Amino acid sequence: MTRSRSLDERHQDARDTRRIWVKDAEDGMAELGILGPAVLVHGVYERLTGMATTNEKLVEPDAAGEPDERTLGQRRADIALDLLLTGAPAGHDTDDGLLAAIVPQVSITVPVTTLIGAEGADTPPAELDGRAPIDPDTARRLAGAASGWDRVLTDPITGAMLAVDRYRPTAAMRRHLKARDQRCRFPGCGMPARNSDLDHTLDAALGGATEEDNLEDLCRRHHILKHHTPWHVEQHSGGLLEWTSPLGRTYIDRPPPQNTITFTDGSGINPASGPDAGSGRAVAADRGAHPPGGLPKSARPPDPWAALPADLLAPF
């Protein structure tokens, strides 16, 4: 004869099924469900109700004098999402707040016409990647607050993705370019790179990529000059910049030489490549200077400016 199970036993088994789920709804909405012990779930609901009721008494009209007309149910939902997105799980966190420091992230794709504010029934919606459409206003606010965003180039006929790049340079790019440029790259300017802006040589708005060979450091004065005067600049390999003045005169600006030290043996042959590699006496030569004889041509690095026309390399 089978013994009937007590509520306590059944509840212990039922607790193992506790979970949370998300279900997408229409019009940019979604549902968040939770299954857990009744005492805790009802306690959560009652606490949200108390917060929402108190909030209704505390909130004053906004700067325009408009009252807060949210219903009690809407306030509950807003406070619950606020708590889940910004609160700390006191019963589970570490002493140093490891869980509270976790920041939620979502990825959205916004058509450029939607991003710049186009309105109408035919305006393509933004999308929460892999999930559902979201309203344009939310998409614009998320894009405006983002620390960076990727540009996705697609075929205008098939819609197939052609390329992806990012407007804002990565931290690694910034370190590389600050070390390469050292100063503002307008000819004759000595403003340190650390106090300069990173600028796209070919404007990002015109299709310029966010890559190291399309970026240079410019102080704020020359950054504005580049964009708002007839001055024009092109970047060649090795970071060489070719500036053209409003009168058509050309100026070449090379990256400053690095303050490096190279080592050769007493005969002027690179010990790393000579027949007695590693056995010669090391002699330091600042900024690439070598003792008489120098490096053999086969051991010298290629000159990135050798392919430029001679008239462009003339001193200005």
Question: What pLDDT, in 10s, does the model give residues 85-113?
Answer: 888 888 888 888 888 888 777 777 777 76
Sign, CA dihedral 248-254-268-272, equals negative
Q: How confident is the model at residue 289, as a pLDDT? A: 42
| CA separation for the pair 234, 252 (Å, rounded) | 10
Q: What is the pLDDT of residues 262-286, one digit of tens each?
A: 666 655 555 444 444 443 333 333 4
Which pTM was predicted?
Answer: 0.49
* 21: amino acid identity, one letter: W
Max CA separation in the chain (angstroms): 105
Helical ranges in the chain per DSSP H: 7-15, 38-58, 72-86, 112-115, 136-145, 171-181, 220-228
Q: What is the pLDDT of residues 130-142, one digit of tens each?
A: 777 888 787 777 7
DSSP state letter for 55: H
Phi, psi angle pair for 232, to nearest 5°: -135, 145
233: β partners = 243
- What confidence tier does 303 reach under pLDDT thresholds 50, 70, 90? low
* DSSP-derived 3-state class of residue 243: strand
If one compares 294 and 173, the residue with the highest pLDDT of the two is 173
Residues 296/269, Cβ–Cβ less than 8 Å: yes
- What confidence tier does 11 reach under pLDDT thresholds 50, 70, 90? very high
